[in-house]
Amino acid sequence: MPAQNFRVGLVFEEVSVMTRIAIDAMGGDHAPREIVKGAIWAALDYNIPIELVGKEDEIKKELDKIQKTGIKSMRGGYFSHNIKVNLSELDIKITHADEVIEMGEAVGQAIRKKRKSSIVLAVDAVAQGSSDAVVAAGSTGAAMASSLFGLGRLKGIERPAICVTLPAMKHPICLIDAGANSSSTPEMLCQFAIMGSTFVKNVFNRPNPTVGILNIGEEAGKGNELVQTAHKMLQELKEGGQINFIGNVEGKEVFHGDCDVVVCDGFVGNVALKIVEGSSLMLFEMIKEEFNSNIISKIIGILAKPFMKRIYKRINYEEFGGALLLGVKGITVIAHGRSTAYAIKNAVRVAKEAVETGVNKKIAEFFQ
């Protein structure tokens, strides 16, 4: 693999410049305001350079506001922050982008037509080497497609996959693929397993992470053809000492945290992720409803609020920041469409950690 195609690893190991993160300032439900705020917050908190990609005038307007009033932000719908900022002390680069790819646009067409869109140029910043990773909260499809075309696949990887960090009782775990591919082959599942395992080993710093396949029963031979074949292939990888495969994992066990890497097809993973989000929101809604039912319940609700806050913090997507697109020659972090400044700040942290731990280089090494 030629060195220029693998800048991420090189930056970390050979060049001692600081990691710069490019952020698509125009992507997400609350863009550009929350995105710019989150990026500045990250630059401040992690002491790193950033590159804001989007409509220059809009970005500058947001920066002016931040300079004047600081960063006011919500976190978990609860805590508000007010942080004073002196922008002249930060290393902020602005890259102008004329266009924006909107949610729901046909991705393939949009990527080809809007060559000057914020997401395409943000990925380009990584491809050209002005930044080391990209954070995007807009269309997931657009972020994936522009990363795939703009950065290229890692050698040996058939298809990139979305690696998402989930809260669990023991410690956070990773689910891969969370929706990059709507149908997969057993070979792809094996690659997801290796990428996820490499991620957990390096970013979470857990040696020999356990890898399981998301299935509808514990016994081998359970499930559809895809997972049955993948099970056999993963067993072989285990016997070859390449991954710590522990067999099938059922949905109800995922949140114990005993399985570090939960491997699945992107369709199944995306459904699972979103249905968990939906059911958790319902639970919190119900808790609110019950505590709001009368005056006494309201008082008890106020007393219980700090505990609810702590739980919300433990499972809140904002804390996890974003999901990594693994398998491309560069780091792309896909943040939630609803991302607040706080979520973006954490997404930048995820990108920074991925760059600094050289996860891509380790994946490439495996396939060499």
Q: How far is the CB of 11 from its own copies (least distance, A)?
A: 34
Nearer of residues 87 and 169 to its own copies, judged by Cβ: 169
Q: Closer CB to its own copies, residue 174 or residue 214?
A: 214
The DSSP code sequence of 210-224 is: EEEEEESSSSTT-S-
Query: In the bound complex, what is the minimum distance in angstroms from residue 54's beta carbon to its own copies?
Result: 25
Tokens of 217: 């029963």
Q: Which one of 49-57, 238-246, 247-255, 349-357 is the stretch in contact with its own copies (CB under 8 A)?
A: 247-255
In whole angstroms, give the CA distance from residue 59 to residue 92: 11
Reduce the DSSP state of residue 159 to 3 states and report it: coil
- How many CA atoms, within 13 angstroms, populate the side-chain half-sphere of residue 37? 25
Residue 87 or 300 with smaller CB distance to its own copies:
300
Residues 163-222 that bind its own copies (CB under 8 A): 167-169, 179, 182-183, 214-216, 219, 222
Stretch that binds its own copies, among 6-14, 79-87, 299-307, 343-351 (CB under 8 A): 299-307
**One of 45, 47, 282, 365 touching its own copies (CB under 8 A):** 282
**CB of residue 186 to its own copies, shortest distance in Å:** 14
- Give min distance, CB of 2 to its own copies, in A: 35
Contacts for 116 with CB less than 8 Å, ≥ 6 apart: 97, 98, 99
Q: Which residues within the stretch 8-37 sit at the binding site for its own copies (CB under 8 A)? A: none
Q: How far apart are CA 88 and CA 303, in angstroms?
A: 43
In whole angstroms, how close is the CB of 329 to its own copies at the nearest point?
A: 26
Nearer to its own copies among residue 67 and residue 297 (C-beta): 297
Query: Is the CB of 53 or the CB of 268 nearer to its own copies?
Result: 268
Nearest residue to 11 (alpha-carbon basis) of 133, 132, 130, 153 = 132
The least CB distance from residue 168 to its own copies, in Å, is: 7
Q: Using the 8-state DSSP alphabet, how is residue 138 labeled?
A: S
Angle at 263 between CA 258 and CA 265, to 5 degrees: 150
Buried b (16+ CB within 10 A) or exposed e, 30-57: bbbbbbbbbbbbbbbebebbbbbbbbee
Q: Least CB distance from residue 108 to its own copies, whole Å?
A: 12
E strands present in 216-368: 244-250, 261-263, 322-326, 331-335
Q: Which of 267, 319, 366, 367 binds its own copies (CB under 8 A)?
A: 267
For the bound state, the minimum distance from the C-beta of residue 41 to its own copies, rounded and expressed in Å, comes to 27
In the list 122, 254, 259, 333, the residue contacting its own copies (rule: CB under 8 A) is 254
In whole angstroms, what separates CA 264 from the centre of its chain? 17
What's the token pair of residue 189?
């599942």
Q: Which of 69, 16, 4, 11 is nearest to 40 (CA)?
A: 69
Evaluate whether 211 touches 193 at the Cβ level (below 8 Å). Answer: yes
Instruction: Name which of residues 109 to 148 contact its own copies (CB under 8 A).
Output: none
273 scored as a contact of its own copies (CB under 8 A): yes
Shorter beta-carbon distance to its own copies: residue 79 or 98: 79
For 162, the 3-state DSSP assignment is strand
Q: Tokens at residue 198, please?
A: 């490499």
Interface residue list for its own copies (CB under 8 A): 104, 167-169, 179, 182-183, 214-216, 219, 222-225, 227, 250-256, 264, 266-268, 270-283, 285-287, 290-291, 297, 300-301, 303-304, 307, 310-311, 314-315
